[in-house]
Amino acid sequence: MQHYNMNLTLKVWRQRNNKVKGHFETFQVKNISSEMSFLEMFDVLNEQLVAEGKDPIAFDHDCREGICGMCSMHINGRSHGPWDQTTTCQLHMREYKDGDTIVVEPWRANAFPVIRDLVVDRSSFDRIIAAGGYVSVNTGNAVDANALPIEKQKADESFAAASCIGCGACVAACPNASAMLFVSAKIAHLALLPQGDPERKVRAVNMVQQMDTEGFGSCTNIGACEAECPKGISLENIARLNREYVGAVFSGSPRG
Amino acid sequence: MALNSKIPAGPIDAKWKTYKSTCKLVNPANKRQLEIIVVGTGLAGASAAASLGEMGYKVKAFCFQDSPRRAHSIAAQGGINAAKNYQNDGDSTYRLFYDTIKGGDYRAREGNVHRLAEVSASIIDQCVAQGVPFAREYGGLLSNRSFGGTQVQRTFYAAGQTGQQLLIGAYQALERQVALGTVEMYSRHEMLEVVKIDGKARGIIARNLVTGELERHFGHAVLLCTGGYGNVFYLSTNAMGSNVTAAWKAHRQGAFFGNPCFTQIHPTCIPVSGDHQSKLTLMSESLRNDGRIWVPKKQGDNRKPTDIAEEERDYYLERRYPAFGNLVPRDVASRAAKERCDAGYGVGSSKMAVYLDFAAAIERYGKIEANKQGKGNLDKASIIALGKDVVKEKYGNLFDMYAKITGENPYEVPMRIYPAVHYTMGGLWVDYELMTTVPNLYALGEANFSDHGANRLGASALMQGLADGYFVIPYTLGNNLADDIRTKAIPTDHPAFVAAEKEVSDRINRMMNIKGKESVESFHKRLGKIMWDKCGMGRNAKGLEEAIREIQALRKEFWSNVRIPGEVKEFNPELDKAGRVADFIELGELMCKDALHREESCGGHFREESQTEDGEALRDDEKFMYVAAWEFKGESQFELHKETLDYEVVHPSARSYK
Amino acid sequence: MNWKNYFTTSIGKKILVGATGLFLILFLVVHCYVNAMIFWCDGGKHFTEAAAFMGGNVAVRILEIGLFLGLGLHIIQGLMLWSQNAARRSVRYEVSAGNKTSKWYSRSMGLLGTLILLFLILHLFHFWAPNRYGQAFDAGWKEEDLYEKMMVVFTPMWVVIVYLLGCFSLAWHLMHGFYSGFQTFGLATNRYKGIIRSVGVAFAILIPLIFASMPVYMHFMANSHP
């Protein structure tokens, strides 16, 4: 792989906090190596800003290996940038060439208020999980792990849904700012397993209600979420959530 | 102060059972009056907070990330060990115990490790009940694979995302308690001080990272589940935010630090590509199940790996350690890679890498698959295509990650790998009950020093984190708090809280007012370089003495020349990082001092002065069979306390994987 | 949670849109079948008989009420979803992904639906209102010959063009709507997704194409037999 260096123009959203309005600010960065990750390019820019006595750009990141779900940039119109099934931290600069201009925005959704610059508040996701995204089993109550065989295909499908990292790219990408892909991934993960079966109706109804309370839009089956999901979570999960919900409605859920 | 590890008397396999049936209990009504603070929400923290919440305690949980689900446990790839013996390959609690003691190079406590092995099976049961989607066989039962340092298959896994699945299980259990009101969750909060009242830990000072405000929180007990401190090396496989701050504050408040120099360097990471590098990425140890590690037999061989013929390759692990081959423990594999690279056999542009090659595995799997499909006489290309599919199913996500980072296709050319800092076996010294030397202050998971000795085996970190949180602390905490039921919640206007908050606030203001020239990041990089060069994979007295002086100088420079932009009372990641780097600098000095005093090689700690003729680590059980527990006595002053290790069951011998 | 709540959640609303949408799709089939009788080339004999049956039958009249209720619900819920969803992102993106991550028609269901609605008003005014008005209020009402009426209506070119635009909007609306309806009811599983998508595309092309050929056909019929 040929390595090269590049100079770039960055147009980045700046917003001091959620009480003030934001705006775009333009920066030049020089000598960016094609081997850097996108966030390392931001590190370079921030070092430059600190040296100039300016405020560095705030952005969320932690593991930088594509699994924690904390990084969250909207890059040239794409959640997590142009690469398929890739988080921002795993996007590498060999995607770009000398002289490119890159526009970087925060996830935009009313349910994800901006905290600062590119950092948004995704605690709504935690509250959706708290509304029912679990199996109610206390520590110490479990039977032997192999007492309950699970069909491999179902276990694999459940795992595929459970690989959601809760980054919020689905919301960011959705023209409706809907959180259906996120919610459905959790519903599918648990509905496909016998362990999740006893609470499946309550779970579907309560999680959907919480999703609405948080101010997410509703799904109109556009599919941008699936296209932008860094973990390849499938729209089939949304079909399953719909099915679970319809099932819960017509059979009556015990509470909620 | 004499260290009392409080190991229960009796035979090894009865200690924990006896403890559980004789420890004191707290009745449900009293539990509701007892407040517990849990700092950190990784596997240890989330599982502890959830379990204690379920039991009825009033819990407050804190994490610096935006959600408890982000904790770095999530990045663990390979798996979690448990002595289930589902594979009928002779595994048992004793064998897991023995492997862990031996893998730790006889520097761990027998009592703790046996307890870990005992509860390991319950962890798997608990996680499956929560809906953790472990890998399964076609019969519907759980699948296992093997990991380094063992000869049985006891590792449970969920593709290359085991840590993620386990953490999400614990996180969901935690969120359930949040919904029920037993746990109050504080995200984007960082603990900056332990508050002690009458010698006991009774709360914390935390900073709200969004507003920058300091908050006081009372707790009858404080649990630190804050992970390891590998980021002291700047480059490591840890998350960017992983830090030592909570543990270090506890240390300064009187909690001894155990074996700080015991660091695990993981052999299979993607090599450094340049000065810009901000972190290193692990390629799971599970890859060593199928990948073969080699370098060219000729020094400085610049040919493409695929052009180097089989007989010109040196499969040095298979050559040196025929019994375990590519599955030797991490410390051994890392040192062997460093040895080859230092001797001039390294590959890639930096020459600081070795190959991890899947060609043989792809062909082997291809043949098996062809036979399965009844196509015995396929041509080689078709066999390889079939083999690639099998490898993709097993390791697809890891291969994708490698391709994204390096731009190379690991199905076609061998991966380049090099060791990187991964885990810290050292941590806050704790007794059998996981309590530090500060009463009512506990440390769980990677934050404590207890179970892995001088080297951790693969797939054991997840096991320990969850063991501590789900199955140990619920008992040991009750045993202590049973005596505390008459202690009413202490109001946070108590002078101790006021003083602690002022201390924290003064330190932050002092840091902000330096207004120097150099960025926090730059100090961190400089510290990391000192640590990696002189307290990394190979250590010697001269280098460590230099490192101590350099770190002391670096600390002075930091406190006179660091530049932190922005304000205190706002979202200010640079300020958060500055506090963490300041603590790393102090820790770095202690690590070097610990490494300097331990004049033996054991596990991840390799003193170049102490090796056999063929370059293997040479332990000194006569002089060093103890836990080094360091007490903070003031800036740059640490006093050594020794906890002698008594091996009642296992007889320490030279650790051989040949 | 009571029944009302079930249908006012985000999924509940979608279920209403989806259910009414699928019902309207069924209606399109019937409508298309009856109207396609103009192609018998019998001077509208078959067609007029069928139209008279549809116009004079009490059951059909009752079904028609259901149809209008369904249509109304579909329109109201659809437009409400559209406006509510648009309000979920107060600050818009500077750069949008455009067609890289989704189809334009999937994002434009509100717009396409509105165009269809405008067309529909004209369409009802042409072919439905006169007969139904007469039926209700005119004692001396006699079923108008719709075949003749089509000839008249489609004589000017601009009407044909407006109708073609209506069919065009309908095609794209169906291109998303057909699949989407099944997805909303959770039927678009991996196993059936492919079939539903293919049938949806075929339906979205075929039905509007047949409808579109009607004004064109009648226009030329009218102009060739003055």
Q: Do B74 and A63 touch (CB under 8 A)?
A: yes
Rounded-to-integer distance, Cα C211 and Cα C33, Å: 10
Inform me whether the pLDDT recorded for B82 exceeds 70: yes
Q: What is the pLDDT of residue B341?
A: 94
**Which residues does chain B have within 8 Å of residue A61's beta carbon, measured at their own beta carbons?**
240
**Residue A131 at interface with chain C, using a CB cutoff of 8 Å:** no
**Residue C10 at interface with chain A, using a CB cutoff of 8 Å:** yes
Angle, helices A236-251/A200-213, rounded to nearest 10 degrees: 110
Rounded-to-integer distance, Cα C47 and Cα C37, Å: 5
Q: Exposed e or buried b for every residue in B69-95, given b needs 16+ CB within 10 A?
A: bbbbbbbbbbbbbbbbbbeeeebebbb
Surface-to-core class of residue B198, CB atoms within 10 Å of its CB (0-12 exposed, 13-18 middle, 19+ buried): exposed
Give mean pLDDT, residues B472-497: 96
Closest by alpha carbon to A180, among A227, A221, A129, A120?
A221
Select the more confidently predicted residue: B275 or B261. Answer: B261
The residues facing B35 across adjacent strands are B58
Task: Tell me the pLDDT band of C1, cut-offs 50, 70 and 90.
Answer: low
Contact B465, B116 (CB under 8 A): no
pLDDT in tens, B394-409: 888 889 999 999 999 9
Q: What is the pLDDT of residue C130?
A: 85
With a CB cutoff of 8 Å and minimum separation 6, the contacts of B164 are: A67, A163, A165, B74, B75, B76, B158
Q: What is the pLDDT of residue C129?
A: 87
Told to judge if B313 belongs to the known catalytic residues of this protein, a careful annotator would answer no
- The number of helix segments (H) and strand segments (E) in chain C equals 10, 0
Domain ranges of chain A: 5-116, 123-251
CA distance A48 to chain B (A): 10
Closest Cα in chain C to A245: C11
Measured between CB atoms, which of A105, A109, A212 is closest to C94?
A105
Measured between CB atoms, which of A54, A68, A195 is closest to B74?
A68
pLDDT in tens, C76-126: 999 999 999 999 999 999 999 999 999 999 999 999 999 999 999 999 999
Which SS3 state, helix, strand or coil, does residue A83 take? coil
**Which residues does chain A have within 8 Å of residue B574's beta carbon, measured at their own beta carbons?**
50, 56
With a CB cutoff of 8 Å and minimum separation 6, the contacts of B327 are: B146, B147, B148, B149, B150, B288, B289
pLDDT in tens, B85-117: 999 999 999 999 999 999 999 999 999 999 999
Inform me whether the pLDDT recorded for C225 exceeds 70: no
pLDDT in tens, B123-132: 999 999 999 9
Residue C100 DSSP code: G
Q: What is the pLDDT of residue A201?
A: 93
Measured between CB atoms, which of B130, B134, B239 is closest to A63?
B239
Q: What is the pLDDT of residue C56?
A: 78
Instruction: Select from 1.25.40, 1.20.1300, 2.60.40, 3.30.70 the CATH code of C3-87+104-224.
Output: 1.20.1300
Q: What are the C-alpha distances in Å from B228 to residues A115, B117, B241, B461, B467?
A: 28, 21, 11, 11, 17
pLDDT in tens, C114-166: 999 999 999 999 998 888 888 778 777 777 788 888 989 999 999 999 999 99
CATH architecture for the domain at A123-251 = Orthogonal Bundle (1.10)
Which SS3 state, helix, strand or coil, does residue B627 take? strand
Could you tell me the two tokens for B504? 């924290």
Residue A89: CB atoms within 10 Å: 29
CATH architecture for the domain at B505-620 = Up-down Bundle (1.20)
Contact A117, A148 (CB under 8 A): no
The residue behind tokens 């369409």 is: C123
Residues in chain A: 256
Closest Cα in chain A to C91: A108
Contact A183, A191 (CB under 8 A): no
Rounded-to-integer distance, Cα B338 and Cα B475, Å: 43
For chain A positions 71-90, those within 8 Å of chain C (CB to CB) are 74, 76-79
Q: Do A242 and C183 touch (CB under 8 A)?
A: yes
Closest by alpha carbon to B189, among B167, B171, B204?
B204
Q: Do B276 and A140 touch (CB under 8 A)?
A: no
Task: Tell me the pLDDT band of B657, cut-offs 50, 70 and 90.
Answer: confident
The residues facing B136 across adjacent strands are B142
With a CB cutoff of 8 Å and minimum separation 6, the contacts of B625 are: B106, B107, B644, B645, B652
The residues facing B314 across adjacent strands are B295
Could you tell me the two tokens for A50? 């600190």
Could you tell me the two tokens for A243? 């099915």
What letter represents residue B39's amino acid?
V
Rounded-to-integer distance, Cα A142 and Cα A200, Å: 19
Q: Which parts of A52-179 fold into alpha helices (H)?
A: 123-130, 152-162, 169-173
Contact B426, B79 (CB under 8 A): no
Q: Do A239 and C186 touch (CB under 8 A)?
A: yes
CA distance C194 to chain A (A): 12
For chain A positions 96-115, those within 8 Å of chain C (CB to CB) are 103, 105, 108-111
**Residue C108 at interface with chain A, using a CB cutoff of 8 Å:** no
Q: Do B278 and A151 touch (CB under 8 A)?
A: no
Rounded-to-integer distance, Cα B355 and Cα B399, Å: 14
Q: What is the pLDDT of residue B396?
A: 86
Q: What is the pLDDT of residue A74?
A: 98
pLDDT in tens, C182-201: 999 999 888 899 999 999 99
**Residue A49 at interface with chain C, using a CB cutoff of 8 Å:** no
pLDDT in tens, B569-590: 999 999 999 999 999 999 999 9
The residues facing B626 across adjacent strands are B644
Mean pLDDT, chain B, whole residue set? 95
ipTM of the complex: 0.97
**Which residues does chain A have within 8 Å of residue B161's beta carbon, measured at their own beta carbons?**
67, 163
Q: What is the CATH number of domain B265-421?
A: 3.90.700.10
Q: Which of B72, B120, B126, B136 to mutate to test the interface with A (most CBs of A within 10 A)?
A: B136
Q: Which of A8, A14, A134 to mutate to test the interface with B (most CBs of B within 10 A)?
A: A134
Q: Which parts of C128-226 fold into alpha helices (H)?
A: 129-137, 146-153, 157-184, 190-224
Q: What is the pLDDT of residue C139?
A: 77
Rounded-to-integer distance, Cα B82 and Cα B99, Å: 12
pLDDT in tens, B191-233: 999 999 999 999 999 999 999 999 999 999 999 999 999 999 9
Q: What is the pLDDT of residue A249?
A: 82
Q: What is the pLDDT of residue B454?
A: 97
Contact B360, B414 (CB under 8 A): no
Given CATH 3.40.47.10, say whether it is the number of domain A5-116. Answer: no
**Residue C224 at interface with chain A, using a CB cutoff of 8 Å:** no
Q: What are the C-alpha distances in Å from C27 to residues C22, C30, C109, C125?
A: 9, 5, 19, 19
**Which residues does chain B have within 8 Å of residue A90's beta carbon, measured at their own beta carbons?**
401, 404-405
Q: What is the pLDDT of residue B614?
A: 86
Measured between CB atoms, which of B140, B175, B573 is closest to A130?
B175
Q: Do chains C and B touch (3 or more CB pairs under 8 A)?
A: no
User: Within a 13 Å sphere around the CA of B34, how many CA atoms are in the beta-carbon half?
Assistant: 27
Closest Cα in chain B to A83: B404
Residues of chain A falling short of pLDDT 70: 1, 253-256
**Which residues does chain A have within 8 Å of residue C190's beta carbon, measured at their own beta carbons?**
234, 236
**How far does CA C114 lie from the centroid of its chain?**
11
CA distance B23 to chain A (A): 17
Which SS3 state, helix, strand or coil, does residue C93 take? coil
> Among B95, B202, B330, B456, which one carries the catalytic annotation?
B330
Measured between CB atoms, which of B129, B274, B519 is closest to A35?
B274
